[in-house]
Amino acid sequence: MTRVVFDRVWKKFRIGESHDSLRDLIPSAFGRLFRSTPSAPLAAHEFWAIRDVSFEVGPGEVVGIIGHNGAGKSTALKLLSRILKPTAGRAEVRGRVGALIEVAAGFHPDLTGRENVFLQGAILGMTRADTAARFDEIVAFAELERFIDTPVKHYSSGMNARLGFAVVAHLQPEVLLVDEVLAVGDMAFQQKCYARMRRFRDEGVAMVFVSHNLTAIAQLCDTTVLLNAGRTAAVGRTAEVIAHYCSGASNAEGRDASIHATLRTARPSAAQENVRHVTPGSRLLLDITIDFHRHVERATVGVVIWDVRSETFVTGVSSDAIGIPFVAADAGEQRTFTFEFTAHLARGLYAIEVNVVDVDRQAFLANARGIRHFDVVDSVTFGGVANLYFTGAETTVAMKTLASGAPSIA
């Protein structure tokens, strides 16, 4: 059974609308009535926040929504939570809903944490008896036992987030809508929240998760929707969509040069162009072709590797640093290069950036971030991004006794 339906949804907003008289209000109301369809032209100060976006979520599925600020992510979630109504299309949620859009939105600053737990529970549809039965679990999860009888106006933003999430986490929803609400919490609490969301997923809860945290999106979401200016820029397998997102800000077709690249394994027997999945320690070859559109006396080619999930710089190298002479080329010339490296990386998704720099002008001729990407797959999870192949064994430690009788390691 489909729990969330977002079917060809459009949402229009007006900027700075105000009416000083009934004479202005009536024509405006009629204008909105006849401009309520996507095909109707926009009036002054109107814009589409969501434009023809569709996705569905079934039990136990998690759909992520990513995109730059203003892309329409939070608007989509507010449409599903019925805070907003769509201009056109259908936004439906079936089943008991827990919404984490603004976790402290239902809190009254002058009430204590205890009082706000019952208030928030009522807002979310829990009876007083339900809230009372779960109260101790909610407070323990939020780690606010000492402050539960303190007015929440004295809470930090992180304390508010912890208490708000704890209430929803014990609501036992069938559908969970989550916006970027966990960023204010500390790292340990964020991990506890993500663990609870994974448990929800395993229990069959349908979830829609909006976040800028690509690591969390990659860990939690089966499918991801990338929004750009209210439109669907990509939708599909999370790793694919994240890679598309990371490459979206780049343009391999620069004004002064164009870049083409392929990634393959170094073993001839297993050579594969544009290899996608590799194991830690794989030797890889990055073949780069550059078409120069203007004359350059001295150019370098740079390669940078990024951790896609956290958008962290992993490493980078310039062609001149590994013995490739400065490149001199005329407009219309094409040059090819091969960079070889070993992927001593922890499990995760990585993107490759290639750039061409005019050394004398200190300017990019072209830059292509995310021109290629690859998954490092491994059965063991390591923290960080490097896999240094640690091994270990127990070492027998000989003990001797000092004259004082205290033991000492030999």
In terms of Cβ atoms closer than 10 Å to its own Cβ (0-12, 13-18, 19+), residue 372 is buried
In terms of Cβ atoms closer than 10 Å to its own Cβ (0-12, 13-18, 19+), residue 42 is exposed
Residue 317, pLDDT > 50, answer yes
- Band (pLDDT 50/70/90 cuts) for residue 249 is very low
Using CA atoms, how far apart are residues 177 and 100, in angstroms rounded to an integer?
A: 6
Non-local (6+) Cβ contacts of 33 within 8 A are none
Each residue of 115-140: pLDDT tens digit?
Answer: 999 988 887 778 899 899 999 999 99
- Residue 52: predicted pLDDT: 95
The residues spanned by each domain of the chain are 4-15+46-244, 251-376
Give whole-number Cα distances, 54 to 13, 42, 63, in Å: 19, 22, 12
Averaged pLDDT, 312-333 = 92
- Band (pLDDT 50/70/90 cuts) for residue 398 is low
Residue 18, pLDDT > 70, answer no
Q: Is 269 in contact with 324 (CB distance < 8 Å)?
A: no
Q: What is the CATH number of domain 4-15+46-244?
A: 3.40.50.300
Residue 305, pLDDT > 60, answer yes
- Residue 239: predicted pLDDT: 75
Using CA atoms, how far apart are residues 152 and 246, in angstroms rounded to an integer?
A: 39
Q: Which residue has the higher pLDDT, 237 or 79?
A: 79
Nearest-10 Cα torsion for 81, 87, 88, 92: 10
- Band (pLDDT 50/70/90 cuts) for residue 167 is confident
- Band (pLDDT 50/70/90 cuts) for residue 227 is very high
Give whole-number Cα distances, 48 to 35, 231, 242, 243, 356, in Å: 12, 9, 24, 26, 37
Helices (H) and strands (E) in the chain, counts: 8, 20
- Band (pLDDT 50/70/90 cuts) for residue 284 is very high
Using CA atoms, how far apart are residues 135 and 170, in angstroms rounded to an integer?
A: 9
Residue 53: its H or E element: strand 46-57
Counting every residue, how long is the chain?
410
Token digits of residue 43: 């009036």
Of 211, 133, 73, 240, nearest to 197 by C-alpha is 211
Q: Is 373 in contact with 312 (CB distance < 8 Å)?
A: no
- Residue 76: predicted pLDDT: 94
Q: Is 369 in contact with 353 (CB distance < 8 Å)?
A: yes
- Residue 85: predicted pLDDT: 92
Tally Cβ neighbours within 10 Å of residue 18: 8
Whether 4-15+46-244 and 251-376 share one fold: the answer is no
Residue 407, pLDDT > 80, answer no
Span of 6-20, 184-198, 392-406 with lowest mean pLDDT: 392-406
Each residue of 31-40: pLDDT tens digit?
Answer: 555 545 676 6
Q: Is 326 in contact with 378 (CB distance < 8 Å)?
A: no
Q: Is 100 in contact with 22 (CB distance < 8 Å)?
A: no
Q: Which residue has the higher pLDDT, 104 or 330?
A: 330
**What integer best gives the mean pLDDT of the chain?**
83
Give the gyration radius of the chain's Cα atoms: 27
Q: Which residue has the higher pLDDT, 90 or 254?
A: 90
Each residue of 325-352: pLDDT tens digit?
Answer: 999 999 999 999 999 999 999 888 888 9
- Residue 127: predicted pLDDT: 87
251-376 fold? Coagulation Factor XIII; Chain A, domain 1 (2.70.50)
Token digits of residue 118: 């019952």
Tally Cβ neighbours within 10 Å of residue 309: 21
